[in-house]
Amino acid sequence: MIIVTGGTHGIGRATAEILCRSGAQVLIAGRDAEAGEAAEREIEGLSYFQADIGVDADCRAIVDRALELGQGKLRGLVNNAGLGKRHVFGETTVADWDEMMRINARSVYLMTRLSLEGLVAGAGSVVNIASVAGRAGEENLALYTASKAAIIGMTQSLALELGDRVRFNAVCPGQIGTRMMGSVLSDDTRRRTLELRIPAGRIARPEELGEVIAWLLSDASSYVNGAVIPVDGGETAGLRNPRTLD
C-alpha cells in the first residue's frame, strides 16, 4: 500500500495513476471528495480517503486506513499535499507563518512519524515533494521557501538516520501545469515570460513529476537515498542570458 497525500489533483493524482498502472495499491488523501471519489471510480487499485493533512487527527486516520488496507505494511509514502502562497514579507503575520509551516512542514513530519512502523515493516520508501524554492530564495516567497527548505533538511536527516530500513528522497518541482499555476497558464504573456526562464522552454505536465516519484518508490532506485532531485527543465541549473519576447 502506498499513501499519496494531496492525491485528488495535479501531481498527486498523476502520481497515483502511474503507480496504479504499475500494479500498486494506492490510497490517496485529500479534501475534495468529489474529485477523490471520481478517481476511485476511474482508477483500478486506487482508494480515496477524505482528509485534511493540516489536522493531526486526519493524518492519523489516513495512516490507520492505509495500514488496514495494507495489512500493517506500507510500501511507500508520498508527502505531496501543500500550500502555496505569496506574501510581501513586511505584511505577513505569525498566523501566516504558522499556517504555512502547519500545512507544508508539520504535516510531513506527522505523516512520516505515524507511518514509520508500517514503512519499516514494508521496506518502504518516502518521497517528499519540496520545491525549487526550497533550494534558493525567491521574491515574496520567504515563508513558502522556509517551509520547503525544512522538508529538504528533514528528508536528508532521515535518510542518514533510517536509511538502512526506509529510503527518504525529495523531489523539487519547478513550473508545473497544476491548478496552482492557473492564473499564469491562462495569461499568454505571463506564461511565455515564465517559459523564457526555463531551458526546456515549457512548463511541465504533472505526469512528468509522477514518473520521477514512481521511480523513487520502485526497486529501480534501490540505492538512491537522501537525494534532492530538481524536476524543473533546467531552470535552477544556473544563470541564463536575458531573453525577450518576440
Distance CA 193, CA 4 (A): 32
Strand boundaries in 85-166, DSSP class E: 125-129
Q: What type of residue is 23? A: G
User: Using an 8 Å Cβ cutoff, are 48 and 5 in contact?
Assistant: no
User: Which ranges of 82-132 does DSSP label H, i.e. alpha helix?
Assistant: 94-101, 107-121
The catalytic residues are 144
Q: What are phi and psi of 21, to 5 degrees?
A: -65, -30
With a CB cutoff of 8 Å and minimum separation 6, the contacts of 226 are 155, 156, 159, 160, 163, 168, 169
